[in-house]
Amino acid sequence: MPGKKRVAEKQRQRTLEALRTAEEVARLPAVVPPVAYPIETLVPEARQQTPAVGQRATRVDGRLHGLGQTKYIDDLAFPGMLHAKIKRAGIASARIVRIDTSAAEAMPGVVAVLTGAEIPVNSFGPSFQDQPVLAHERVFHAGDGVAAVAAVTEQIAVEALEKIVVEYEPLPAVLDPLEALKEDSPQVHPPHGNIYTTKVILKGDVEAALAASDRVFEGRFRTQMVEHVSLEPHAAIAEWDPNGRVTIWSTLGRITLARSDVARTLKLPMNRVRMVGTIVGGNFGGKNEITQEPVLALLSKKTGRPVKGVYTRGEEFTSTTTRHPIVMDYKTGVTKEGKILARKVRLVLDGGAYCSWSETTLGKAAILSAGPYNIENLQVEAYVVYTNKTMTGAMRGFGAPQVCFAYESHMDDIAAALKIDPLDIRLLNVFGEGSVSPTGQVLHSVVVKESLLKAAEHFGWREARS
Amino acid sequence: MKRRGRGIACMWYPIGFTVSANPSAAVVKVNEDGTATLLTGTVESGQGSLTVLGQIAAEELGIAADDVHVVSGDTDAMPMDTGAIASRTTYVTGNAVRLAAEKAKGVLFEVAASMLGVRPEQLEARDRKIQVKSFPQRNLGIGEVAYHAQVVKGQPPIGSATWNPPTVPMDPKTGQGQPFNTYVYATQIAEVDVDDETGEVEVIRIVAAHDCGTAINPMLVEGQVEGGIAMGIGFALQEEMLFDAAGRHVNPSLTNYIVPTSLDMPQIEVDIVPSYDPTGPFGAKGVGEPTSVPTAAAILNAIHNAVGVRISSLPATAEKVLTAIKMKGERARIGAVAGGE
C-alpha cells in the first residue's frame, strides 16, 4: 500500500536525520544539541516510595550526567573572563634569587602577573600553615608555583609563563623518608627538624609478651606515592566585585574550610568571601583544601575581571596532594595456635614538602596499624617526615590502605608458617562486640567476624579448590 | 603458565575526624504541600551523598526521596559543614539532617495535634501522612498539615540542627583515648591469575563484604564498593609516581602513570553485612573510604597464594612479580644443590 510506503520512507528519513545529528554531536562533544524537556519527568519508583531509607533511589544528578548536561567549572564562562596559568619551579629545593616578569607583562594579551611577594598571608594548611600559595624566596618541591599569569586566552597565558625568568640557587634536597629521619640530613623547613609529628600507642608489656611467644615474625612493607587521578582536574573561577567581595566557584569538597583559608590568605573578613562548590568530578581526598583559589582571586582583584584556572594533568600530579608512601616494620609474637600475643609497629610516613593532612593520616595509620585484632600488648611508633617531594595529604583511607596491606600480608605470612588457613587465623584474632581497641576504646556494632564469614561463604573459601 | 590464587584481607576503619571536632549543620524546610527542601554545606563528589541525605530527611518526615530537594555548596546560603571527607557525610551530616528534620516535624506535629485532637507525642509521620500511633486511620496528609501550619497558624515548619561525633583526646604518651565514635568493618577476597613467565597479574574476581551500618541506599553502597575496588587495584598493581635523583616527577601523565580502566575490572560481588549503629542516623555509619582499604592486601595475598612469592612493596608490577618468581626459582635450585652435597 502506498500509505505504508510513505510511512516507511518518513521513518527512513528520520533515522538518517538522527544519525546525522549523532555524528555532529560526536564531532562536537562539548556542544549539546537543543533538547525540549517534558513537563513531567519520569521519576523512578524507588524515589517515590516510603519508607525512604533502604530504597535504591537514583541520584538526582544522574540524569544530568547521563544527558551530558552537567556543568563542571570548565563548562562555565563569564563575560570578560581571563585565564590563569601558574609557573612551576621544576627544581626540588632552591632559594629564589630573582624573578623577572617584565617580558611576560609586556606580551599582548597578558593582563596581569602575580608573584608570592604580593600575597597578603602567603601560607595555608589544615594543621600547620607551612604551605605557601606561591613560593616566595624558597622552593620546597619541584611542583611549587613561583608566579602566575592572567591572559585573555589560555594559550597566551601558557606562552607568558615561558617569558618569566626565575633565577635559582640550588639547595640540597632530601627525597627518601628514611634518609630524612637522619640527624645530618638536609632540613626541608629549617630551623624545624624533618620529623614534624609523632604518634605513639602503648598497651600492655610488649617485650615480655614477645619473649613469651612461641614464634616471633618480622616483616618490612613499603608503599608508593599515588595520585587521586580525578577525571576533573582542580579548577576554579574567581570574581572580585567592586564592594571588595570575592566569589569563588571551585571544585572542592570542603567549602567551609576553603572559605576560612581564602579569607586568611587574602586577609579578608569571612563575610566578604563566598565559596560556591560546583559539581565535583572526582575528589577522593584530593579536593579537600584550596590550591590556586587565592591566586585567582588576587588576579581578579588586579584586573577587575573574572579569572579562571584549570590545572593540567601534569599539575594534578606534581602540584597537588598525593598518598603517603609508608615504610612499615612489623614484629608479631604468636602462640603456635596462631593467637597474637604482642605486636610492635614502626611507621615512617613520607610527608612530602608540606604537612597538609599528614597529621590526620599519621593518626589514623597508627591507630589502625594493628589491624582489627585483639592484641593485648601493643607498641606503635609512627613518624611523618618532610621530604622535597610533592606533598602528601588526604587520600581515600588516610593511611589505612597502606597499613592494611602490611598487617594483612604479615598475617598471611604467619598463617603460612604455622600452617593455618588464612581465614581461620583471622577468625581466631578478630574483634568482637565489646572488644577493646588499641587506644583503649570499647567498640560497638562490630561485625568484622560476620564480614569474614559472609565473604568466605560467598566466595566458596571452604570448598575444595579446583 | 597462568596460576590461580586467592587472597583474603579484612579491615576496620573509623568514621569522622581523629579526635578533632568535625561538626555538620543542616536546615530542613517543609513546603506548603508537604514536600521539603534540605540545605547542607557539604558538596556532592559523585558518590551520591546528597541523595542519601535527602533520603534521611525524607525518612524522618515520613515522605519519599523525591519529595526532598537538596540544596548544597554555597557558603553564603548554606549552614556550615566540615565537608566531604573522612567517610563522615552519611554519619555526621546525616545525624544533623535527621535532627533538623525532626525539629521541622515537631512543628507539624504541634499543628496536627490540634487538628486531630490529640497530643503531639501521640503522632507519627509515615507514608506522607501524619497519623495517630496505633490508630493510623486517624490521619492527615502531610501537605494539609504543612499548609495549615504556614498559612493558618503562621508557624512555618523549619528545623535546623547541628551534630558532632563525641571523642576523647588521645594521651600523648600512650595513645589511649576515644579518637572516633564509631568504626566500620569489611572483608574482601580476591581471585587472581598470575602468569609465571611474564609476572603479569590479572584480577579475576573480588568478593567484598562491607559493613556500613544501615544501608540508607544499597545501590549507592554497591557503587562505592565497586569504585573503591577499582582504586585499590590501581594501588596494588599499577600506579606509582616516580621521581628522578633531583626530585622531579618523571611520569606526570596518564600515558606513563597507568590507572585501571573498565577493561581491568574483575567480576565484583558485593555483600552488605547487616549491622545497626544506634549512634548513626537510622543506624547508618559510612562506607566511602573503607571500600578501597583491603583491596591491595587481598590481591597481594592472592599473588602469594598463586606463585608463592611475597611482594612486600607496592605496586606489584609484572617486573617485580617476575623478578620475585625468578629469585624463588634460583633459591630453590641453590637449596637443592646445597642439600645434595
Secondary structure, 3-state, chain B: CEEEEEEEEEEEEECCCCCCCCCEEEEEEECCCCCEEEEECCCCCCCCHHHHHHHHHHHHHCCCHHHEEEEECECCCCCCECCCCCCCHHHHHHHHHHHHHHHHHHHHHHHHHHHHCCCHHHEEEECCEEEECCEEEEEEEHHHHHHHHHHHCCCCCEEEEEECCCCECCCCCCCCCECCCCEEEEEEEEEEEEECCCCCEEEEEEEEEEECECCCCHHHHHHHHHHHHHHHHHHHHHCCCCECCCCCECCCCCCCCCCCCHHHCCEEEEEEECCCCCCCHHHECCCCCHHHCCHHHHHHHHHHHHHCCCCCECCCCHHHHHHHHHHHHHHHHHHHHHHHC
CB burial of residue A7 (10 Å; 0-12, 13-18, 19+): exposed
Which of A459, A463, A465, A466 to probe by mutation at the B interface, max B CB count within 10 Å? Answer: A459
Helices (H) and strands (E) in chain A, counts: 14, 15
Closest residue by Cα to residue B8 from A217, A323, A462: A462
Q: What is the mean pLDDT of residues A334-356?
A: 98
Q: Check if the beta carbon of residue B10 is closer than 8 Å to that of residue B185.
A: yes
Q: What is the pLDDT of residue B65?
A: 97
Q: Which of B124, B240, B289, B330 is catalytic?
A: B289
Q: What is the pLDDT of residue A23?
A: 65
Q: What is the mean pLDDT of residues A247-268?
A: 97
Beta strands A82-88; A307-310: pairing state: parallel
Tell me how long chain B is.
341
Q: Which residues lie closer than 8 Å to A127 by C-beta, 6 or more apart?
A: A197, A355, A357, A358, A359, A360
Q: A299: part of which helix (H) or strand (E)? A: helix A293-303
Strands in B68-72's sheet, in edge-to-edge order, are B68-72, B36-40, B24-30, B158-163
Per-residue confidence at A39, pLDDT binned at 50, 70, 90?
Answer: confident
Q: What is the pLDDT of residue B341?
A: 45
Question: With an 8 Å Cβ cutoff, are A404 and B64 in contact?
Answer: no
Q: What is the pLDDT of residue A27?
A: 58
Question: With an 8 Å Cβ cutoff, are A142 and B285 in contact?
Answer: no
Residues lower than pLDDT 50 in chain B: 341
Q: What is the mean pLDDT of residues A22-29?
A: 60
Q: Check if the beta carbon of residue A425 is closer than 8 Å to that of residue B163.
A: no
Which of the residue ranges A15-29, A378-392, B172-186, B247-261 would you say has the lowest mean pLDDT? A15-29
Joined grid coordinates for residue A396: 581515600
Neighbours of A293 (CB within 10 A): 29
Q: A202: part of which helix (H) or strand (E)? A: strand A195-203
Judge whether A401 is closer than 8 Å to chain B, CB to CB.
yes
Q: Which of B83, B178, B274 sits opposite A439 (nearest CB)?
A: B178
How far is B277 from A133, CA to CA, in rounded Å? 42
User: What ipTM does this complex have?
Assistant: 0.97
What stretches of A302-385 adopt beta strand conformation (E)?
A: 307-310, 326-334, 340-350, 377-385
Q: Is B226 a catalytic residue?
A: no
Judge whether A94 is closer than 8 Å to chain B, CB to CB.
no
CB burial of residue B309 (10 Å; 0-12, 13-18, 19+): buried
With a pLDDT cut of 90, the percent of chain A lying above it is 88
From B205, which residue of chain A is nearest by alpha-carbon distance? A459
User: How far is the alpha carbon of B119 from chain A, nearest alpha carbon, in Å?
Assistant: 24
Q: Which of B54, B84, B241 sits opposite A227 (nearest CB)?
A: B241
Q: Which residues lie closer than 8 Å to B41 by C-beta, 6 or more apart?
A: A255, A256, B24, B25, B72, B73, B75, B78, B79, B80, B81, B83
Judge whether A245 is closer than 8 Å to chain B, CB to CB.
no
Residue with cell 566500620: B184
Per-residue confidence at A5, pLDDT binned at 50, 70, 90?
Answer: confident
Closest residue by Cα to residue B179 from A355, A384, A322, A365: A365
Strands in B129-132's sheet, in edge-to-edge order, are B123-126, B129-132, B135-141
Closest residue by Cα to residue B212 from B291, B267, B269: B291
Q: What is the pLDDT of residue B339?
A: 63
Q: What is the pLDDT of residue B93?
A: 98
Q: Which of B48, B247, B279 sits opposite A175 (nearest CB)?
A: B247
Closest residue by Cα to residue A250 from A300, A209, A287, A218: A287
Give the CA distances from residue A326 to residues A220, A366, B303, in Å, rounded to whole numbers and listed in that order.
10, 11, 21
Instruction: Calculate ∠ Cα A273-A278-A279, nearest 5°.
Output: 160
3-state secondary structure of A143: coil
Q: Check if the beta carbon of residue B45 is closer than 8 Å to that of residue A280.
A: yes
User: How far is the alpha carbon of B261 from chain A, nearest alpha carbon, in Å?
Assistant: 12
Q: Phi then psi for A379, rounded to 5 degrees?
A: -140, 120
Q: What is the pLDDT of residue A18?
A: 79
Strand partners, A250: A236, A277
Residues of B in contact with A219 (CB under 8 A): 312
Tens digit of pLDDT for each residue in A426-453? 999 999 999 999 999 999 999 999 999 9
Residue with cell 556542544: A31
Q: What is the pLDDT of residue A60?
A: 87
Q: Which residue type sits at A196?
A: Y
Output the DSSP codes for A243-272.
TS-EEEEE--S-HHHHHHHHHHHHT--GGG
Instruction: Calculate ∠ Cα B36-B39-B44, nearest 5°.
Output: 110
| Residue A461: CA count within 13 A, CB half-sphere | 22
How far is A284 from B230, CA to CA, in rounded Å? 12
How far is A164 from B282, CA to CA, in rounded Å? 57
3-state secondary structure of A326: strand
pTM: 0.94
Question: With an 8 Å Cβ cutoff, are B213 and A380 in contact?
Answer: no
Q: What is the pLDDT of residue A32?
A: 60
Per-residue confidence at A2, pLDDT binned at 50, 70, 90?
Answer: low
Q: Which residue type sits at B339?
A: G
Average pLDDT in chain A: 94
